[in-house]
Amino acid sequence: RLSFTYYPNYKEVNEYLTYLTQTYKNIASLITIGNSYEGRSMKVLKLSTGGANKPAIFIDAGIHAREWIAPATALYMVDLMLQSHRDLLSKVDWYVLPVLNPDGYEYTHSSSANRLWRKTRSKTSSTCRGVDGNRNYDMQWMTIGASNNPCSDTYAGPKPFSEVENQHLRDFILARKGQIKAYLTFHSYGQYILYPWGWTSNVPANEPELRNLASQCAQAIAKSRRTRYTYGTSANALYPAAGGSDDWALGKADIKLSFTYELPGGNSGFLLPASEIKPVGIETFEALKVTHQYVTSKY
Ligand code: 0X9
Ligand code: ZN
């Protein structure tokens, strides 16, 4: 059980996932997708009330190590679904990978000097470690907004999908390609709802649909706690950057509804106090409800 009053370390995240499978035996199960570079087991939580051919929504968080509010929010929304919003489980299956970069996440938890570490922890050069997971996807890799310098925080890696954690996510999603209708990836900070593309200022064919859904999600969040989100394509609303998981989800996995959430940082950025986990979780859950509603009406 997690109280959501502090940021859990990776062990606590996994203990919570196991607790959920024991407490909600008929709904929650775990799928181990492989090990991280340093050997940490990576688990996707599946929430399903059974029945075949249901559409699914996939959520990940924590590809960037220091963005602690992202895994916490993903887990708190799971808590809300299981405790009080079971209706979200009747027509849709959910897959949640709360920490996509466990090695980096543990690094920010165990060493206070590196609380602001962003990348993975793979050994990529004699002097520097880590790859920016969100520049490492095989979608216009290294074409813009990414670095080939292993010491840079936006190092794209020696090749697309060099990072084993991203390989696991890729294989998991591709194995469920037809089923997964929406891909949501949680980051911080800045209060943005972003959608493809990040690699070009041109917009994808289904931009009107993405814009419309992002707008509805932003409105639902604003109604909940007056938190103002900006929405738009990554390249136009934030900055151009290629090799992101959101662009890959749309461009290569053909998941039409692909969104990056930049959660709030308040006045503290990545160091957002843990007292914000519940309020951020509650308001972000409003966007999840809207997305769920859209998926059930369309599929
Ligand atoms: O730069 C990123 O990876 C994301 N922002 S963050 O501050 N959390 O690092 C934004 C990614 C948006 N998506 C793409 N550029 N594809
Ligand atoms: Zn991020």
| Cβ partners under 8 Å of residue 10, min gap 6 | 40, 99, 102, 105, 106, 109
Ligand 1 center from residue 134 Cα (angstroms) = 7
Q: What would the two tokens of residue 272 be? A: 């957002």
The proportion of the chain whose per-residue pLDDT surpasses 90, expressed as a percent, equals: 99
Span 220-264, pLDDT tens digits: 999 999 999 999 999 999 999 999 999 999 999 999 999 999 999
Q: What is the pLDDT of residue 277?
A: 98
Least confident of 23-32, 108-117, 278-287: 108-117
121 pocket-lining for ligand 1 (C-beta < 6 Å): no
Taking the C-alpha atoms of residue 238 and residue 137, their distance in angstroms, rounded to an integer, is: 19
118 confidence band (pLDDT: 50, 70, 90): very high
Q: Is 165 a catalytic residue?
A: no
Ligand nearest to the CA of 66: 2
**Helix (H/G/I), strand (E/B), else coil: 260:** strand
Q: Which residues of 209-244 are buried (b: 16+ CB within 10 A; e: fewer)?
A: ebbebbebbbebbeeeeebebebbbbbebbebbbbb
Residue with tokens 């609380």: 115
Residue with tokens 């969104």: 259
Q: What is the pLDDT of residue 213?
A: 98
Please, is 114 exposed, middle or buried when counting C-beta atoms within 10 Å of its C-beta (0-12, 13-18, 19+)?
middle
Question: Is the pLDDT confidence value at 111 over 80?
Answer: no
The full set of domains in the chain, from first to last, is 10-110+162-298 (3.40.630.10)
**Helix (H/G/I), strand (E/B), else coil: 192:** strand
Cis peptide before 197, with omega less than 30 degrees from 0?
yes
The interface predicted TM-score (ipTM) is 0.99
Question: Is the pLDDT confidence value at 21 over 80?
Answer: yes
Question: Is the pLDDT confidence value at 112 over 90?
Answer: no
Taking the C-alpha atoms of residue 224 and residue 227, their distance in angstroms, rounded to an integer, is: 8
Q: What would the two tokens of residue 213 be? A: 């859904």
Question: Is the pLDDT confidence value at 167 over 90?
Answer: yes
Instruction: Give the N- to C-terminal CA distance of the chain in Å, as an integer.
Output: 34
Span 76-94, pLDDT tens digits: 999 999 999 999 999 999 9
73 confidence band (pLDDT: 50, 70, 90): very high
133 pocket-lining for ligand 1 (C-beta < 6 Å): no
Mean pLDDT for the stretch of residues 277-299: 98
- Choosing from 262, 276, 283, 286, which is the catalytic residue? 262
Taking the C-alpha atoms of residue 254 and residue 91, their distance in angstroms, rounded to an integer, is: 21
Ligand nearest to the CA of 259: 1
134 pocket-lining for ligand 1 (C-beta < 6 Å): yes
CA angle, 188 then 248 then 164, to 5°: 80
Q: What would the two tokens of residue 233 be? A: 């394509």
Average pLDDT, rounded, for the chain = 98
Q: What is the pLDDT of residue 113?
A: 74
φ, ψ at 70 (rounded to 5°): -70, -55
